[in-house]
Amino acid sequence: MTGLVDQLQSDALDPGSSVSALLRKVKVAAVKLALDDALVWVQRELDGYKDKDDLPDYRITRGNPVGWNPYHGWQPMLFADEKISDMITQVSLFEAVGSFEATLKESKSGTLLKPLPSGLVAQMNNMFGWDIPKAALEFPRGSIVNVVEQVRNLVLDWALELARAGINGEGMAFTMEERKRAAGSQIHIGQLNGSFSTGDAIGANARVNVGSNDHSVNSANDCSVFRDIETAAHAIDDRQIRAAILSANRDMEKASSGPAFVGAYQKFIGLLADHLGVFGPMIPALTALLAGR
């Protein structure tokens, strides 16, 4: 009969297997082997995290703040203060792995929205003189793909370490010798730190960030931001919208050294309602040009 540890390895290697189901098997093994740190980690992944201090690095990413406009839908929110921007744009992913799996099945959009607390929205309205009814952080779908895959990888690593220590089990049980080996070993799960891939964002509005969380800000030096916008626009399937954005981008570049830039910028922003995931990282560079008018 296949041992539980072998089952964990097999399930972790199967890209179609449920990570939530995989975690429940980890829970069984952790309880039977009395591996308390693994039990704490797996319970948090199954139930969701309560405390921000407990969040592993793979559950923290960045998003683009957007506010709801009753006439134009979601619109970018721009902050001149870099500290405020850094504070607001961090996305902490507390939810259970099962909720992420359900979201990935239900939505194929390249970006997702995480609502900002109503109290924070009220504070921003008072601070900046806005009248925004609600706000959110738009972040790549790939960020939750990454959470699911990181959990799968951690389980695989843990199962391989158990096997290396001679702990395999028989069916759903472990021998007394295997329990003793587990008690005397230093086998941990969920203790990794550092940078992880955000995965691939998928969909019409997708951005792709591989190898790290996206903390980049496009530079306006030598007007390279206009070249970045032009390149990004070619990923838009709708020809009419793509042509309108490219035209608005050319108008901005022509007006970048004069007072007409403000109007050109506003026209460009008005076209981005469904494409913030593509052009959001370029907005700070445009804002820098706007500040110079």
- Work out whether the CA dihedral 201, 207, 211, 217 comes out positive or negative: negative
Alpha helices by DSSP H, listed for the chain, are 4-13, 19-33, 36-47, 82-89, 97-106, 118-128, 142-164, 176-183, 224-233, 239-255, 261-270, 276-279, 283-291
Is residue 194 domain-shared with residue 223, that is, in the same domain? no
For residues 33 and 120, state if they share a domain. Answer: yes
User: Of 215, 231, 262, which residue constitutes the final position of a domain?
Assistant: 215
| Residues 17-43, mean pLDDT to the nearest whole number | 93
Are residues 249 and 139 part of one domain?
Answer: no
**Statement to judge: residues 202 and 287 lie in one domain:** no
143 shares a domain with 242: no
Are 228 and 162 found together in one domain? no
Please identify, among 181, 196, 215, the residue that sits at the C-terminal boundary of a domain. Answer: 215
Task: Looking at the structure, tell me whether residues 236 and 211 fall in a common domain.
Answer: no
Please give the pLDDT value at position 277: 65
Whether 134 and 206 share a structural domain = yes
Is pLDDT at 218 greater than 60 in this prediction?
Answer: no
Domain that holds residue 22: 1-215
Angstrom distance (rounded) from CA 228 to CA 279: 9
User: Please, which pLDDT band fits residue 234 given cuts at 50, 70 and 90?
Assistant: confident
* Rounded Cα distance, 33 and 236, in Å: 52
Residue 216 has pLDDT above 70, yes or no: no
How far apart CA 220 and CA 226 sit, in angstroms, is: 8
pLDDT higher than threshold 80 for residue 172: yes
User: Is residue 136 pLDDT above 60, yes or no?
Assistant: yes
Tokens of 61: 């990413």
Spatial contact of 138 and 66, defined as CB atoms under 8 Å apart: yes
What's the confidence (pLDDT) of residue 99? 95
Strand partners, 90: 62
Instruction: Tell whether 179 and 60 lie within a shared domain.
Output: yes
Residue 126 and residue 66 share a domain:
yes
pTM of the model: 0.62
Q: pLDDT at position 284, please?
A: 67
Q: Are residues 118 and 169 in the same domain?
A: yes
Instruction: Indicate whether 133 and 189 sit together in one domain.
Output: yes
| CB within 8 Å of 160: residues ≥ 6 apart | 9
pLDDT of 215 > 60? The answer is no
Residue 102 has pLDDT above 90, yes or no: yes
Q: Is the pLDDT of residue 59 over 90?
A: yes
* Number of domains the chain contains: 2
Domain boundary among 215, 232, 252: 215
pLDDT for 83 equals 73
